[in-house]
Amino acid sequence: MNFLQESYRLVKLISKRGFGKTFLAVDEGKFPPIPCVIQELSLQNEISKTFEQKVQWLEELGQHPKIPKFLASFQQNGHFYLVQEFIAGRNLAQMVEEEGAFDESQIWQLLKELLPVLKLMSDRNIIHCDIKPENIIRRSSPNLETRGDLVLVDFRSAKIVTEIDQLTTEISIGSPEYAAPEQTRGKAVFASDLYSLGVTCIYLLTQISPFDLFDIANNCWVWQQYLTTKVSDRLAQILNKLLQNAVNHRFQSADEVMQAIGMESKTEDFKFSTPNPPWQCLHTLTEYSTGVNSVNALAISPDGNILASGNNDKKIRLWDLNSKKILATLSGHSQAVKSVSFSPDGKTLATASDDKTIKLWHSKTFEEICTLFGHSHAVKSVAFHPNEQILASGSWDKTIKLWDINTGTEICTLIGHKLQVNSVAFSPQGKLLASASCDRTIRLWQIAALEDSDKEFKNRPCYSLLSTLSGHAWTVLTVAFSPDGKILATGSDDNTIKLWKVSTGQLISTLSDHSWSVVAVAFTADGETLISASWDKTIKLWRVSTAEEIITLSGHADSVSTIAISPVAQLIASGSRDKTIKLWQLVEQQES
């Protein structure tokens, strides 16, 4: 089998053990295709409920920089599959083979990097169950003078510990050379991972198989006899306590080890989603006809009363946000609707479609005004100029077009992107237009004065390229200006959001806590908060001034495709491939 789920091309088998396999693969569904790692789990060793639990906590753990990002999961041909980020670099087994045995300073560094990760996992009742040199990768660093982080990989054997688990025995899992005695008997505990970490350390120090470092006759480790360079008594004491056969003689937690080596015993600077967040989903809109398989675009009218949604069934729906009922369903496009936008005065709705056209509608009477023809490929984004007379459109024909709303005619075409254009946005002052493309760049266009309605727009110069912003590793999918026009936010297939200073084109910060493509970004009216939507099924809120994540909103059962923010209320709308729209509202916290 060369493909899974029609888009994952299997490149090679990385490892095969027990009930599962690990493959290096390429996601051909992305442009450009991206490498990933696919883990196959046998139905003999997984049941649907435990697999769903594993997916849930892998999504959470995957937000940590020292654990691969979780990308997808599915079931096919009698197996469960987990798709995770491919970590470019060398594992510790490769490093020791190429560079020789580790010295003491390298072991201290290993402990300092991995112990907080093990603490993070144990705090969530998770045991990795297969810690060994092959499953610890030193991430490649673009800067040759710096060293990349260590990343813990391969969670096929990992398990969540419950009270029931403590009373039962399971099939032995993990790698025999590195597994703790109790784990080989089917009784893995949190200290089992610490034992495996200790065995990993002595292998790296000696470059000798752990099987040969254990004296079976005397039931003890003799690793120090094989050292070519002695280590300090302090390190030897730490490792020997990690390696105790009896669990009650061993370090019981990562906390204990961290305290013993003088590390502050706390989880790394890393925040998970806040439980019981003040933002809550108070309404889910699902009144769709049969056949709708994705909500692609959302927009809220300037008065905050109407929500417009564009869908894969070629229709646009207008919702009354007060009653949560459908006001009207607009038909006319012959393919999926990919973008919707209200004019600043709220009187006109623009919609863009894969059918290569843009349509303008009366938002009060729901009548079609006209259809704009000119693009030679799917139109993915439309945005109104603040003067309400100009509309910009971005297309997969690699161009951006400006349209005269009064006449329905094309003003000019902006050419320069090398690949498809995914998103366009005007600055609040209307002097700039930003465009995002599959060519991994964002372009800022200077727009000439177009304010006077009595001027003839057509056939006169209307734009110039101001700057090109580069920095994303993959396709740029979305752009948004802050309300004051000073910051530009961009989201990408590389799972990151970047904030740029508009006046200089300088990168301000990179937000990288999403585990999949960021498909939509939007600022709140006060400019203090940025909202992002991702295929990782979440919406995140960020504090713009500090680039800190405020909260993660979870609830969609499939990829989130779009978001919209009410200009007059504390309300966020999100649309998803799960066929629903969710309305999130800020809930006042009651004092207890």
Look-up: residue for tokens 């009064």? 406
What are the Cα distances from residue 472, in Å, to 111, 218, 497, 507, 522? 32, 57, 9, 11, 18
Give the closest residue to 330 by CA, choosing from 276, 383, 371, 378: 371
What are the Cα distances from residue 300, in Å, to 329, 375, 396, 504, 516? 16, 26, 25, 31, 26
What are the Cα distances from residue 560, in Å, to 63, 64, 84, 279? 17, 21, 19, 17
Q: Residue type at 103?
A: D
The counts of H helices and E strands in the chain are: 8, 41
Q: 200 — phi, psi (to 5°)? A: -60, -45
Residue 310: Cβ within 10 Å count: 29
How many residues belong to the chain?
592
Q: In which region does residue 555 sit, left (phi positive, over 0), alpha (psi from -120 to 50) or beta (all else)? A: left
If you write DSSP's letter for every residue of 216-260 in order, what string do you get?
Answer: TTTTEE-GGGG-SS---HHHHHHHHHHT-SSGGGS--SHHHHHHH
Report the alpha-carbon distance of residue 159 to residue 341 in Å, rounded: 46
The 10 Å CB-count burial string (b at 16+, else e) for 324-338 is: eeebbebebbeebbb
What are the Cα distances from residue 23, in Å, to 35, 39, 95, 232? 11, 6, 21, 40
The 10 Å CB-count burial string (b at 16+, else e) for 109-139 is: ebbebbbbbbbbbbeeebbbbbbbbbbbbbe
What are the Cα distances from residue 259, in Å, to 190, 231, 238, 251, 480? 17, 20, 11, 11, 46
CB-side neighbour CA atoms (13 Å) of 510: 10
Which entry of 27, 103, 123, 130 is annotated as an active-site residue?
130
Helix, strand and coil in the chain, % to nearest 5: 15, 40, 45
Q: Say if residues 164 and 190 touch (Cβ distance below 8 Å).
A: no
Q: Is 233 an annotated catalytic residue?
A: no
Instruction: State whether residue 8 is helix, strand or coil.
Output: strand
Contacts of 466 (CB under 8 A, 6+ apart): 432, 444, 445, 446
Q: Say if residues 473 and 492 touch (Cβ distance below 8 Å).
A: yes
Q: Which helix (H) or strand (E) holds 116?
A: helix 104-123
| DSSP letter assigned to residue 373 | -
Report the alpha-carbon distance of residue 555 to residue 573 in Å, rounded: 13
Q: Indicate which residues carry an active-site annotation.
A: 130
